Structure 1
Amino acid sequence: MTAFLGKILGSLLRYVYDIISTVGSEPGNFSYYAMAVIVTTIIFKLMLLPINFQQTKSTRIMGEIQPKMKVIQDKYKKDPQTMQVKMQELYKEYNYNPASGCLPLLIQFPIIIAFFAVFREPAKYAFTEPGLYDKISKVFLWIPNLDNPDPFLWGLPLLAAATTYLQSKLMTPPPASGNANDPAQSTQKMMTIFLPFLIFFSAKSFPAGLALYWVLGNVFTIIQQLISNRSSIKAREE
């Protein structure tokens, strides 16, 4: 599956690169390849936008019904059958499917893995002609070669960690009223703190092209989430 999707996404990267490389002259500190990575990432995120919106909607609804779920769980904790019936009624009232939050992730996961493979081995999936990938410039601002890790920790590794943290914060639903110590919320809070550190140390060793893709993807998702949050607040006010 990864190889199949990798060839498709690699073809997209190569197609974008071929178009960009015919426009004007290549800047000394901003290679055609870096431009192709940025444009391809944006196209990729736009392709996944409907799935991401569904996931965002599911997360928002879950945040709204959590207090009511807590009431049902407390009220019927000794009667599991009635609790299940009441939960189903609540889901139906809000037109919410508990599986709807997981489905987008399951769909995206193999695609994201394949995209990682493309940026980890561009010569295998995109620039397949012998020696072609070695000849092209891979400069991106302060990074001399996107094949190598960013030489500065304050560069893409820090940006990757910071955008991961902000994205996690924006996508985490608020705790249910009176339930701030809920184990699920505590786990989510721990992951919000732990994951950026994991991404930071990973980005130190990743090819900078892969870290650039991660940062751009996060920024895209953050903007999408901010727009979605504002729309939700406006809808509730109306």
Structure 2
Amino acid sequence: MDTIASLFSFITTPVSWVIVQFHKVYGALFGDDSGWAWGLSIVSLVVLIRICLIPLFVKQIKSTRNMQVLQPKMKAIQERYKNDKQRQSEEMMKLYKETGTNPLSSCLPILAQSPFFFALYHVLSSIASGKKIGAINQDLLDSARQAHIFGAPLAAKFTDSVEKVTSLDASLMDVRIVTAIMIVLMSASQFFTQRQLMTKNVDLTVKTPYMQQQKMLMYIFPVIFAVMGINFPVGVLVYWLTTNVWTMGQQMYVINQNPTPGSKAQDAYLQRVLKSVTAHEQVRGRTRRNTVKAIVAKGPDRNDIERKFITGLGKLGLAAQEDGTVQKSETAAADAEGSQTHKRQQPKRQTKAKRQTTGATAGGAKDTESSDADSKTSLEKQDAPQDDKPKSAGKPASGSSRQAKSGQRKGPQRPKHPSKK
């Protein structure tokens, strides 16, 4: 613990000072020794930290989307230089530089929160041990030790002994019930946040190992939080549950207002925009105009969902403009109708029995036609006049000699011109 204190001493005093300032405000409303005053002070600390981290969250979103788009190219580089690790790393760095992508940006919010998390953990542990720390003096220390949330002290843990819990004026059963409920809520909120990201806000047209990794994290992270949660004080559980709920709400807002291109969330968002345009014949809101502007700028590189949106505008007789607005267009409806592709209807596949029956019928008809032709030929031979004059046995017929020569026509030949005799 002393090692952790020395590592995060630069942040322990500011964190304790912020908690004390919030406690003064909530203490005037609920009482200085109230668990709600101290609990809401921790919640307010989380909200303040997350507001400061919003710019990093925006970078995280951009980095995550860029990494998802780059996955096919990264995989191609790995396959191409699988025997040359140095060249592979150089090509990867070159790809990141060309696209302006930072792989570490997706981890920035978590990394930025880590010092505050460990500082708060150390502050609460010091309160449980009865030690002054940072801006918390002896009076505030005594007040924090008396604060309970639903019967559980802020500094108590699920794994604490009966003696330690009793020293904090609480029962072990109350502490374990409260901590167990908070651990379940913390893990559930983490799972739901990751699940809505994977099911709604992922580009379904790009199948990469990155998606499989995210699916694994969706199940691994809640288990990690559940295992670690039994060693967290109640105050830290309040902190982590609050930050998970904040992340979940922030993620829902991003999914609804700025979805990933090619995802189900984008389809739902553009359908809402199209419905609004149908009702008002204009794009309302700067965010929506920026979205339409980006779709127009893509041109032929639009995905299927964006083409569907442009076609929907065309059916309304509207055309999207470069500035994100829409205008009436006489050719838009015709272009929309022309862009509709109808699938060619395939003939219904017959069963094996029907195919055999059809083949047998066709074969019987062919045999019947052949038999009729043979009968007709036989009758014609019988009716033909016979030549009474016998042919010379020693001299072959002239027709036979002509037929023996290749390249000549069968049948009677034209008489030669008198000049060629």
- The answer to whether TM tops 0.5 is yes
Would the aligned equivalents of 2:19 and 2:41 in 1 still touch at CA under 8 Å?
A: yes
Mean Cα deviation higher: 4-13 or 38-47: 38-47
Which residue of 2 is the match for residue 161 of structure 1?
187
Asked if the contact 2:120/2:236 (under 8 Å) is kept, the reply is no
The answer on 1:202 being equivalent to 2:202 is: no
Structure 2 residue identity aligned to 1:7: T
- Work out the CA distance in 1 between the residues paired with 2:60 and 2:77: 24
Letter in 2 for 1:91: Y
Is the 2:124–2:154 contact (alpha carbons within 8 Å) kept by the matching residues of 1?
Answer: no
Comparing 91-100 with 4-13, greater Cα deviation is found at: 91-100
Q: What displacement does 1:71 show?
A: 3.5
**Residue 220 of structure 1: how far off its partner (Å):** 0.9
Cα distance in structure 2, aligned partners of 1:37 and 1:107: 17
User: What secondary structure, in the 3-state scheme, does the structure 2 residue paired with 1:125 have?
Assistant: coil
Q: Deviations over 1:78-122 (max 9, x none)?
A: 677876676456434532133434555544433332233234334
2:68 to 55, 63, 69: 63
Counterpart in the other structure of 1:232: 259
Q: Count residues with an aligned counterpart.
A: 233
Which residue pairs with 1:221 in the alignment? 247
Asked whether the equivalents of residues 22 and 41 of structure 2 are also in contact (C-alpha less than 8 Å), the reply is yes
* 2:53 aligns with one of 48, 51, 64: 48
- When structure 1 is superposed on structure 2, of 2-11 and 71-80 the one drifting more is 71-80
Q: Is the 8 A contact 1:54 1:104 kept in 2?
A: no
User: Cα distance 1:189–1:178, how it changes in 2: closer, same or farther (>3 A)?
Assistant: closer
Per-residue deviation at 1:156?
Answer: 0.2
Residue 151 in structure 1 maps to residue 160 in structure 2: no
Instruction: Look up the match of 2:303.
Output: none
- Using the TM superposition, give the Cα deviation of residue 45 of structure 1 relative to its aligned residue in structure 2, in angstroms: 1.6
- Cα distance change of structure 1 residues 168 and 51 upon mapping to structure 2, 3 Å threshold: same
User: Any conservation in 1 of the 2:16–2:136 contact (CA below 8 Å)?
Assistant: no
**Matching of residue 95 in structure 1 with residue 121 in structure 2:** no
Instruction: Give how far 1:227 is off.
Output: 2.2
Unaligned runs of at least 5 residues, structure 1: none
- Normalising by structure 2, we get a TM-score of 0.47
Aligned to 1:9: 15
SS at match of 1:155: helix
Relative to structure 1, the CA distance from residue 135 to residue 119 in structure 2 (aligned partners, 3 Å threshold; closer, same or farther) is: closer
Q: CA deviation at 1:193?
A: 2.1
CA distance in 2, matches of 1:80, 1:128: 53
Counterparts in 2 of 1:107 and 1:34: CA distance versus 1, 3 Å:
closer
Q: Deviations over 1:137-189 (max 9, x none)?
A: 5232x34422223432651010111122233445676798444xx4x665554
Counterpart of 1:36 in structure 2 is 41
The answer to which of 75-84 and 226-235 deviates more is 75-84
What is the TM-score of this pair, normalised by structure 1?
A: 0.76
Q: Which has the larger displacement, 34-43 or 78-87? A: 78-87
Task: State the Cα RMSD in Å.
Answer: 3.6
Q: Displacement, 1:201?
A: 3.0
Residues in 1 aligned to 2:155 and 2:185: alpha-carbon distance in whole angstroms: 18
Identity value in percent: 24
Whether the 8 Å contact between 1:163 and 1:218 is mirrored in structure 2 is yes
2:119 equivalent in structure 1: 114
Give the deviation of 1:25 after TM superposition. Answer: 4.2
- Compared with structure 1, are the counterparts of its residues 157 and 107 closer, same or farther at alpha carbon in structure 2 (3 Å cutoff)? closer
Any stretches of 5+ residues in structure 2 without a counterpart? 1-6, 158-174, 261-265, 267-290, 296-305, 310-421
Aligned residues of 1:72 and 1:83 also touching (Cα < 8 A)? yes
Q: What amino acid sits opposite 1:17 in the alignment?
A: H
Larger radius of gyration: 2
The one-letter code matched in structure 2 to 1:158 is V
Decide whether the 8 Å contact of 2:53 with 2:109 is kept in 1.
Answer: no
